[in-house]
Structure 1
């Protein structure tokens, strides 16, 4: 199953979208709230049911002990998002100042996400929050870059408005470069469109030169429930947001599967020695000089 990271240029519904995808997924799912600016699910949807003793920050100390300690800490710090435990949450930071302690933890946590996806067959979603740049590259502290590197898909969450597209446009090239150098390739990057504003999916894709891999409707009532908690809306299971999120989760699985097949069967570049032999053979066929 894929690891899918969600990011944005500014608040565009990343956490709400990640929650909707996690809750709508038809498979066992883990949502990791990895926004260095701090998590909001604890005080929102969960209504402070989860105390500060749970969550992402506590993994930093365990990581310094070793891989086994980190794996055990992770297992003890996830929280169920549903009654049967098929969907679980790693709650985020309670204080943005805690982000500096996670520099060493991100790569190891990214490996845990890969194990959950590859061996446990889970759908994994990462709420990476608002991206921060430093000299045209992802900021080493304010962005969980290793979580993006290990992801099968990185979704830039945008709305169909001029403001959202303008802000997102400055992130496209740095993200492509980052994924080309450290991730699974620049084609891992795509868009998740929140259908709010005048621009439709094809216009958004053309504007940002990226494919829209999934879209979610602007469903104010359902979004308010996911971001603030409280009384679950009537007909929640049939709400537009949850219904479209189910379709979106399936689409993302399919895209990730296609990318995996393409990577496995992509032609491998020839070595320099083999390239030289082929070049000499071609020149002989053309009657050129034999070096």
Structure 2
């Protein structure tokens, strides 16, 4: 299963998109709310049911003790978003001042999230919040840079509006550069399009020079519920938003799987592999004739 980080330049729906993907995926999911500016899910969708005693901040102290303490703390600070326990949440910070304490925790947390994806079989979504840059690079404290670098995919959430695309253009270069130098490659970057505005997916991709990995419909009633809690809107469980979110989660998983395969068998090896397959095909008739005694 993939680890997918969602980020934005401005508030365009990163948290609600991450929630939608986590709630709609056909696989078990984990949503890690890692926005250094603070989490909003506990006060929003969860309506204050989760207090400050549970969440991301407590992993910083555990990480300083060691990997075993971190693993134990991680498991004990997850909140179930459904009765079956298939949808898990790591609630975010309650105070942006806590972000500095997590600067050295991000790499260790990245390892834990990879374990949840590769060994525990969860679709892992990271709410990375708004990007912060310093001297043309991802800020090491105000952006969870280490989590982005270890993710299988990093999706910049944009809307199909001129304003959203204009703001997004300024971070494409630093994101690509950081993923190329410190991550799994610049091609880990994709777009998650919120279908608001006049620009279609192909136009957004052409404008930013980045492929649209998936899209979600503009659904104010559903996103308001996901961000504010309360009573879900009528028809929520069958809403186009959740249907599209499930499709988007499948597309994201397929894209991540293709990237892993390409990294395992880089393009340079493709002709060699093709040659091996051709020789095997040529040898098969001869082997069959030999087996029949011909």
Is TM more than 0.5 here? yes
Q: How far did 1:64 drift?
A: 0.4
Determine the C-alpha separation between the residues in 2 that align with 1:245 and 1:162. 24
1:84 aligns with 2:84: yes
Match of residue 96 from structure 1: 96
For normalisation by structure 1, the TM-score amounts to: 0.91
Determine the C-alpha separation between the residues in 1 that align with 2:64 and 2:262. 37
Match of residue 215 from structure 2: 215
1:21-40 residue pairs with structure 2 within 5 A? 21-40=21-40
1:133-148 residue pairs with structure 2 within 5 A? 133-148=133-148
Determine the C-alpha separation between the residues in 1 that align with 2:83 and 2:164. 36
Task: State the secondary structure of the residue aligned to 1:258.
Answer: helix
Gaps of 5+ in 1: 270-291
Match of residue 14 from structure 1: 14
Q: How far did 1:235 drift?
A: 1.6
Determine the C-alpha separation between the residues in 2 that align with 1:266 and 1:206. 26
Match of residue 2 from structure 2: 2
Gaps of 5+ in 2: 270-294
Match of residue 265 from structure 2: 265
Determine the C-alpha separation between the residues in 1 that align with 2:235 and 2:71. 38
Match of residue 68 from structure 1: 68
1:57-206 residue pairs with structure 2 within 5 A? 57-206=57-206
Match of residue 230 from structure 2: 230
Determine the C-alpha separation between the residues in 2 that align with 1:238 and 1:173. 38
State the Cα deviation string for residues 19-39 of structure 1 (Å, max 9, x = none).
000000111110000000000
Q: How far did 1:267 drift?
A: 5.2
Task: State the secondary structure of the residue aligned to 1:98.
Answer: helix
Q: What CA RMSD, in Å, does the superposition of the two structures yield over aligned residues?
A: 0.9
Task: State the secondary structure of the residue aligned to 1:231.
Answer: coil
State the Cα deviation string for residues 27-53 of structure 1 (Å, max 9, x = none).
111000000000000000000000000
State the Cα deviation string for residues 149-193 of structure 1 (Å, max 9, x = none).
110000000001111001100000100000001111000000000
Determine the C-alpha separation between the residues in 1 that align with 2:30 and 2:59. 16
Determine the C-alpha separation between the residues in 2 that align with 1:43 and 1:68. 30
Q: How far did 1:227 drift?
A: 0.3
